[in-house]
Amino acid sequence: MSRVQSKAKTAKEAPKSKKDKNTGKVVKAVKVVKAKNSKNREKVKKGKNLDNAVKGKNAKKVVRAKKDKTPKKSVNAKKVTKKIKNWAGYNNSLIGRGSITLWLDDSVVKNWYHTGKLQKGAQYLYSEHCITSLLSLKCYFKLPYRQTIGLARSLFHLLQIDKEVPSYTQLSRRAATLNVKIATHSTSSKLHLVIDSTGLKVYGEGEWKTRQHGYSKHRTWRKLHLLVNPETGDIEGVTLTENGVDDASQVEPLLTQAAERGVEVIKLGGDGAYDRKKCWDLLAKKGIQGIIPPQENAAYWVDENGELLDHERNKILKRIDATSRKEWKEQSGYHRRSLGETAMFRFKKILGNSLFSREIETQQTEAAIKVNVLNKLTGLGMPSYEQIKNDILNTAAS
C-alpha cells in the first residue's frame, strides 16, 4: 500500500468535526481506541486502572454463580400463613385502649392524697398513685406536662370529682424520685424469658434533616434494656442506662426485678451481645439455662491445665460443631428471642422512640411508667394466631 493510499484511508476512518447548533462552535470529535492491551487502556482512560474494573466485573459473575447454585423452591411449595382466631375479643381490647377510666379508675381517686409517714420538711400532698396515673396519662397520649394537668382538671370537672390536681411543676419534681414497680399478668412462676436492648432518642434531628443536611454534634440517646415474657408479651423487667453501658451488665438487675415478684427464670435467651463471661457466670450461679449463641470466632473455655470446662457455653459450641449453628438455634428455641424484638417494636410504635425527660433519673422513671402502660394494654387482650397452609402453584410454569 502506497503512502497516498494509507493517508486516504486514515482520513476516511478519522471522525469528522461537528458544529454545535446552539453555540455555533466547532467541536472536535475524539476517536475511541479499543482497549486491546494494558497500554491502550491507559491511553483511553487516564488515571483509572481498568484491570481492577475487569476484576470487579468477574467478581460480580462469581456472586451470580453462587446465587444460581441456591436451591429453588418447588412448584407446589406450601407457604405458612397466620390468621387471628380471637378477632372479636382483640378488637374490643383495641377499643378499650382509648378509655380514660383505664388510667383514672375509682381506686386511684380514693387514694389520691398522700397518707404515708411524715417526713422532715415539707410533706407530700399527693400520693404515688396520683402521680403515677397522671404520668401514665401523659405518656400514653403524648401530652406535655401542662396539657396533662389541663386534661385531668377537665375530667374531674365533668365527672364532678372534688379533688385538687397537682401542678405541672409538682408532677415534674415527683417524677425524679418516684418508685415505680413493674406490674405484669404472668400466671406461671417458672418462665423462659428473653432479653434485649434498644435505643431511645433524647434529642436530635429527625430522619429527613439527617438525610438532607447531615447530623449535628448535639445528639443524645439512652439504651433501654427489657426482660420480656414471649408467651404473654409482658415486660418483666426494665432498666435505662447511658448509651455506652454494656448489655451484659444489665442482666443481674433485670433478673432481680423479676425475682422480687416471685418469678423464677429457668431459661434466658439473648443475642451474641450477652456472650460474656460475667453473664455466663451469673446464669450458672442462679441455675438458669442460657440460650445465647457464642460468636462466630468463639473458642472453648479451658482451665489452667488446658482441660475443657464443664460449662454450658462449651456444650453449645460442641453442638454447633457437631451439627450447625442454624440447627442449634432451632433445637434450643433461640428464635423465641424475636418475640422480644416484637415487644420493643410495640413499645416504640405505641409510646414513641424518644424520651421527653432530660435528667437520667426522670428518664428512668419515664421508662418504667411506659413499660407499665404497655403491660396494661397487653392485659386487655392480645391476638391469638393459628397457622394456615396454602398451596402456591406456579401459574407461569403451567
What tens digit of pLDDT does each residue of 31-54 get?
A: 444 444 444 444 434 333 333 333
259 and 376 together in one domain: yes
Q: Is the pLDDT of residue 395 over 50?
A: no
pLDDT bucket at 112, cuts 50 / 70 / 90: very high
Cβ atoms of 159 and 236 within 8 Å: the answer is no
**pLDDT score recorded for residue 129:** 92
Q: Which long-range contacts (CB under 8 A, 24 or more apart) does 97-105 make?
A: 97/377, 97/380, 100/155, 102/376, 102/380, 103/133, 103/136, 103/137, 103/140, 104/133, 104/137, 104/152, 104/155
261 and 331 together in one domain: yes
Number of structural domains the chain divides into? 3
Tell me if 44 is assigned to some domain. Answer: yes
If you search the block for the grid coordinates 492491551, which residue do you land on? 37
Higher pLDDT, 273 or 66: 273
Cβ atoms of 221 and 243 within 8 Å: the answer is yes
* DSSP-derived pairing of the beta strands 235-242 and 220-228: antiparallel
CA dihedral 252→254→259→261, nearest 10 degrees, is 160
Q: Is the pLDDT of residue 378 over 60?
A: yes
Cα separation, 282 vs 263, in Å, equals 17
Range of the domain at 285: 190-382
195 and 291 together in one domain: yes
Tell me if 392 is assigned to some domain. Answer: no
Burial code (b: 16+ CB inside 10 Å, e: under 16) for 191-211 equals: bbbbbbbbebebeebeeeeee
**pLDDT score recorded for residue 280:** 94
Q: Is the pLDDT of residue 134 over 90?
A: yes
**pLDDT score recorded for residue 214:** 74
Q: Which of 117, 150, 177 is the last residue of a domain?
A: 177
202 and 114 together in one domain: no
13 and 160 together in one domain: no
**pLDDT score recorded for residue 23:** 56
Tell me if 278 is assigned to some domain. Answer: yes
Q: Which of 135, 150, 177 is the last residue of a domain?
A: 177
Cβ atoms of 258 and 235 within 8 Å: the answer is no
Residue range 21-34, pLDDT digits in tens: 555 555 555 444 44
pLDDT bucket at 250, cuts 50 / 70 / 90: very high
50 and 98 together in one domain: no
Closest CA to 221 of 198, 248, 251: 198
**pLDDT score recorded for residue 31:** 47
- CB-based contacts of 22, cutoff 8 Å, min separation 6: none
Cβ atoms of 97 and 377 within 8 Å: the answer is yes
pLDDT bucket at 20, cuts 50 / 70 / 90: low
42 and 127 together in one domain: no
203 and 349 together in one domain: yes
Q: Which of 7-11, 117-121, 264-268 has the highest mean pLDDT?
A: 264-268
Q: Which of 177, 203, 236 is the last residue of a domain?
A: 177
Higher pLDDT, 66 or 136: 136
Q: Is the pLDDT of residue 101 over 80?
A: yes
Q: What is the domain-level CATH number for residue 362? A: 3.30.420
Q: What is the pTM of this model?
A: 0.75
- CB-based contacts of 293, cutoff 8 Å, min separation 6: 271, 272, 275, 316, 325, 328, 329, 334
Cα separation, 50 vs 32, in Å, equals 15
Cβ atoms of 179 and 363 within 8 Å: the answer is no
**pLDDT score recorded for residue 16:** 56
- Average predicted confidence (pLDDT) for the chain: 80
Higher pLDDT, 255 or 102: 255
Q: Is the pLDDT of residue 392 over 70?
A: no
Mean pLDDT of 51-80: 40
Mean pLDDT of 118-146: 92
Tell me if 395 is assigned to some domain. Answer: no
**pLDDT score recorded for residue 56:** 38
Residue range 196-230, pLDDT digits in tens: 999 999 877 666 777 777 776 677 889 999 999 99
Longest Cα–Cα distance in the chain: 119
Tell me if 398 is assigned to some domain. Answer: no
38 and 12 together in one domain: yes
What is the Cβ-side half-sphere exposure of residue 242, based on CA atoms within 13 angstroms? Answer: 5
pLDDT bucket at 370, cuts 50 / 70 / 90: very high
Asked which of 7-21, 50-64, 228-242, 244-258 is least confident by mean pLDDT, the reply is 50-64
**pLDDT score recorded for residue 319:** 93
Tell me if 396 is assigned to some domain. Answer: no
14 and 102 together in one domain: no
246 and 298 together in one domain: yes
Q: Is the pLDDT of residue 369 over 80?
A: yes
Mean pLDDT of 283-312: 90
Cα separation, 263 vs 364, in Å, equals 22
260 and 372 together in one domain: yes
Higher pLDDT, 107 or 27: 107
Tell me if 213 is assigned to some domain. Answer: yes
Q: Exposed, middle or buried by CB within 10 Å (0-12, 13-18, 19+), for 168?
A: middle
Tell me if 231 is assigned to some domain. Answer: yes
Q: Is the pLDDT of residue 91 over 60?
A: yes
Burial code (b: 16+ CB inside 10 Å, e: under 16) for 50-62 equals: eeeeeeeeeeeee
Mean pLDDT of 232-242: 94
Q: Which of 66-70, 275-279, 299-303 has the highest mean pLDDT?
A: 275-279
